[in-house]
């Protein structure tokens, strides 16, 4: 049996009526030990902010587990939501407060470096676009990551969150550029 899939349509300009949650950006309470904050801007092809986007993240717990029945390893950290959702503001900024994800066994062998999967929805995007956030400090793990290995070297840095310049520990910057010239790498999932 195979049913035809329901096609995607754009989220449009008015998603903030229905989709943002007050606690959406806070995967964990900001007071949680080890909490990190990832902020950045969503920018269009003219380097203008995208003020009506929704950024969603999904990730493992710090030990690399998922509290999900389809993780064949079992386990998981009860109560860790793993999911973040942030609307962008007038300057195109989003914010996610979470814990660092862990490393994971990769499909086909090897190990995936700690990462978050990211969905970006916006007016003008007829389907979501998907990217990943990796961390600059995980140099060795990133070098061995089989997904980063498929990305042309010159574009890999678009997938790396960097410590906020001059910022306190645990604050990272990850901008999402939807279009040329420094277009973020997007994945076909």
Q: Should residue 186 be labelled a site residue for another protein when binding is judged by CB under 8 A? A: yes
For residues 67-103, one letter each, b for 16 or more C-beta atoms within 10 angstroms of the residue's C-beta and e for the rest, the string is beeeeeeeebbeebebebbbbbeeebbbbbbbbbbbb
Q: Which of 48, 136, 139, 167 binds another protein (CB under 8 A)?
A: 48
CB of 171 to another protein, least distance (A): 23
Q: Should residue 50 be labelled a site residue for another protein when binding is judged by CB under 8 A? A: yes
The residue with tokens 């840095």 is 157
Please say which residue, 58 or 171, places its beta carbon nearer to another protein. Answer: 58
Q: Which of 82, 87, 135, 172 binds another protein (CB under 8 A)?
A: 82
CB of 38 to another protein, least distance (A): 16
Site for another protein in 12-41 (CB under 8 A): 12-19, 21
Q: Should residue 106 be labelled a site residue for another protein when binding is judged by CB under 8 A? A: yes
CA distances from 4 to 38, 188, 189 (A): 37, 19, 18
Q: Should residue 104 be labelled a site residue for another protein when binding is judged by CB under 8 A? A: yes
Q: Should residue 154 be labelled a site residue for another protein when binding is judged by CB under 8 A? A: no
Is there a contact between 132 and 58 (Cβ–Cβ < 8 Å)?
Answer: no
Q: Which of 62, 77, 95, 124 binds another protein (CB under 8 A)?
A: 124
Q: Which of 6, 29, 78, 168 binds another protein (CB under 8 A)?
A: 6
- Residues in the interface with another protein (CB under 8 A) total 76
Q: Is 122 helix (H, G, I), strand (E, B) or coil?
A: coil
Q: Should residue 63 be labelled a site residue for another protein when binding is judged by CB under 8 A? A: no
Distance from C-alpha of 144 to C-alpha of 113, rounded to nearest angstrom = 7
The residue with tokens 């949680």 is 32
CA angle 81, 93, 112 (to 5 degrees): 45
For residues 139-166, one letter each, b for 16 or more C-beta atoms within 10 angstroms of the residue's C-beta and e for the rest, the string is eebbebbebbeebeeeebebbbbeebee
Please say which residue, 38 or 50, places its beta carbon nearer to another protein. Answer: 50
Q: Should residue 153 be labelled a site residue for another protein when binding is judged by CB under 8 A? A: no
């Amino acid at each position: 049996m195979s049913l035809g899939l329901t096609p995607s349509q754009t989220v449009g300009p008015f998603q903030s009526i229905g989709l943002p949650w007050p606690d959406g950006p806070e995967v964990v309470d900001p007071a949680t030990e080890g909490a990190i904050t990832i902020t950045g801007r969503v920018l269009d092809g003219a380097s203008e902010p995208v003020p009506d986007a929704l950024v969603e993240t999904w990730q493992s717990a710090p030990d690399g587990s998922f509290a999900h029945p389809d993780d064949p390893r079992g386990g998981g950290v009860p109560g860790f939501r793993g999911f973040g959702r942030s609307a962008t503001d007038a300057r195109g900024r989003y914010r996610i407060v979470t814990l660092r994800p862990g490393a994971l066994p990769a499909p086909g062998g090897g190990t995936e470096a700690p990462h978050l999967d990211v969905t970006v929805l916006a007016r003008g995007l007829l389907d979501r676009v998907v990217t990943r956030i990796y961390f600059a400090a995980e140099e060795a793990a990133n070098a061995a990551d089989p997904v980063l290995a498929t990305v042309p070297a010159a574009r890999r840095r678009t997938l790396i969150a960097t410590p906020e310049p001059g910022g306190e520990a645990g604050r990272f910057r990850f901008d999402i550029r939807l279009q040329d010239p420094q277009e973020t790498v997007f994945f076909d999932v």
